[in-house]
């Protein structure tokens, strides 16, 4: 939850390469999208996976190392991270908060500007429906980025964050947003409840664009 008085930071300028991060204490999804004119181009995606048997501090260390390698490799101009909106319990909330803090730290240490978006906002930006299922988000990500493979759920969520940020950039000049006002929620398409899914038709595979580059890939 955003602390009282804290307002969303609007994009100061247009970013062409955005890293989306879907933080988690066992898996951390990442997705990189480039803007080229009116096109949105897929660059890379995947997830950093850590054994559940590893202690929390070791998992956080691996997440930080993985994100650092990705940031160093691709040099994103902005980072989009999902806000914490709910958790199944106190322990889960604390673990997720730790992982999210690591993501923010990795971005800050490399001078990458941070932008935060809620889950409903991201889903609405990508599918037009704020309560879309994960499989629907995956299907729309595949369609919007013209992917020939099925991204993992973590990778798709991270790509959705990157696309959401790029959409905010396009809207900001038209809305004449100032730092003291939160950006309006994106509208349109609330009746889009039956998006086509690719359930069972494809398997997650290593992203072709980043093959052999970043060691954390979807298998």
The catalytic residues are 22, 82, 154
DSSP the chain: -PPTT------SS--SEEEEEE--SSEEEEEEEEEETTEEEEEEEEEEE--TTS-HHHHHHHHHHHHHHHHHHH--SEEEEEPP---SSHHHHHHHHHHHHHHHHHHHHTTPPEEEE-HHHHHHHHHS-TT--HHHHHHHHHHHTT-SSB--HHHHHHHHHHHHHHHHHHHHHHHT--TTSPPPPP-S-TT-------TTT--B---GGGTTTSS----
């Amino acid at each position: 939850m955003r602390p009282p008085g804290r307002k969303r930071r609007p994009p100061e300028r247009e970013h062409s390469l955005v890293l989306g991060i879907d933080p988690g204490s066992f898996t951390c999804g990442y997705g990189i999208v480039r803007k080229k004119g009116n096109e949105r181009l897929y660059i890379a995606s995947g997830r950093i996976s850590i054994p559940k048997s590893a202690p929390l501090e070791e998992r956080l260390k691996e997440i930080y190392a993985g994100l650092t390698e990705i940031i160093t490799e691709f040099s994103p101009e902005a980072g989009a991270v999902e806000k914490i909106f709910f958790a199944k319990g106190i322990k889960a909330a604390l673990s997720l908060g730790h992982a999210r803090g690591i993501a923010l730290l990795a971005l800050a240490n490399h001078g990458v500007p941070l932008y935060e978006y809620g889950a409903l906002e991201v889903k609405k930006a990508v599918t037009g429906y704020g309560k879309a299922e994960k499989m629907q988000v995956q299907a729309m990500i595949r369609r919007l980025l013209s992917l020939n493979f099925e991204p993992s759920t973590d990778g798709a969520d991270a790509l959705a964050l990157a696309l959401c940020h790029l959409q905010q950039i396009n809207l900001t000049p038209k809305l004449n947003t100032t730092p003291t006002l939160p950006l309006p929620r994106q509208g349109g398409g609330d009746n889009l409840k039956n998006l086509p899914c690719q359930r069972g038709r494809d398997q997650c595979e290593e992203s072709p664009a980043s093959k052999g580059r970043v060691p954390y890939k979807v298998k």
